[in-house]
A and B are shown apart, each in its own frame.
Chain A
Amino acid sequence: GAVVSQHPSWVICKSGTSVKIECRSLDFQATTMFWYRQFPKQSLMLMATSNEGSKATYEQGVEKDKFLINHASLTLSTLTVTSAHPEDSSFYICSARGDRGGEAFFGQGTRLTVV
């Protein structure tokens, strides 16, 4: 399957700082990228959908000013958690899909811990 690379795999940051997570599609053009959050032993929670060159569409209850998503190219999307707080600690996963629709490929995930 196609490869999606997500970095960093884990990060620890202090409260009030910002953290940027990168998601790259290595061998295909990702016209759509999705960002998810996952709590332990729970399913994926969609945070936002982004199309290359467009503003992201956020799910209800997700603060767009706190979770900044940029999808500036067909191979790169970033999620920036601004002014992080301990309750933002979670597992964040990106997913990318090509222009034919259908299946999506996931990154390895980023474990964020805010102290």
Chain B
Amino acid sequence: QKEVEQDPGPLSVPEGAIVSLNCTYSNSAFQYFMWYRQYSRKGPELLMYTYSSGNKEDGRFTAQVDKSSKYISLFIRDSQPSDSATYLCAFSSGNTPLVFGKGTRLSVIA
């Protein structure tokens, strides 16, 4: 079983749609859950950071963590063309290196 699984897409949605991105993981030691956005030829940008289970909202973005199911989600409301990027889920158990999903390529069509 892979440590992290993330559907690579590509995912194409119309402008204004709600986007749902997901990752599953197998390592019970993960305590920190992150979502990064990466535009082409740029470094990843931290979007959401959650410690332990629960929901977190920031503007149009909502992150959910379900530790019992080992499943995390990122929702994007009212998606915009500027949201077109690769989204990476990332996990950490503390001071260890982040473990990344392979990334989901999202295109939001105007």
The listed residue (A34, A91, A93, A102) touching B97 by CB distance below 8 A is: A34
Chain A residues with CB below 8 A from B88, complex form: 43-44
Task: Say whether A103 contacts B41, CB under 8 Å.
Answer: no
Contact with B32, one of A34, A101, A107 (Cβ below 8 angstroms): A101
Nearest CB of chain B from residue A2's CB, rounded to whole Å = 9
Identify which of residues 95-115 in chain A touch chain B, using a CB-to-CB cut-off of 8 Å. Answer: 95, 97, 101-109, 111
Q: Known contacts being A91-B41, A93-B43, is A46 close to B101, with CB within 8 Å?
A: no
Q: Which of B36, B42, B101 contacts A109 (CB 8 A)?
A: B42
Q: Is there an interface contact between A43 and B44, defined as CB atoms closer than 8 Å? A: no
> Smallest Cβ distance from A14 to chain B, in angstroms?
23
Q: Is the CB of A111 within 8 A of B46?
A: no
B95/A101 in contact, CB under 8 A: yes
Closest beta carbon of chain A to B99's beta carbon, Å: 9
Cα distance, A4 to B45, chains bound together (Å): 10
Whether the pair A103, B43 counts as a contact (CB closer than 8 A) is: no
- A108 and B42 in contact (CB under 8 A), knowing A32-B95, A102-B32? yes
On whether the beta carbons of A106 and B43 are closer than 8 Å, the reply is: yes
Q: How far is the CB of B9 from chain A (nearest CB, A)?
A: 11
Name B17-46 residues within 8 Å CB distance of A. Answer: 31-32, 34, 36, 41-46
Q: A1 touching B101 by the CB < 8 A rule?
A: no
Residues of A within 8 A of B45 (CB): 1, 106
* B43→A109 contact, CB < 8 A: yes
Contact of A6 with B by CB under 8 A: yes
Does the CB pair A44–B44 fall under 8 Å? yes
Q: Which 8 interchain pairs have the tightest Cβ spacing?
A: A106-B43, A102-B32, A109-B43, A103-B49, A101-B94, A43-B102, A101-B95, A106-B44
Interface-central residue, A43, A46, A107, by most chain B CB under 10 Å = A43
19 inter-chain pairs at a CB distance below 8 angstroms, sorted by A residue, are A1-B45, A1-B46, A6-B43, A42-B102, A43-B101, A44-B44, A44-B88, A101-B32, A102-B31, A102-B32, A102-B51, A103-B32, A103-B46, A104-B98, A106-B36, A106-B46, A108-B43, A109-B41, A109-B42
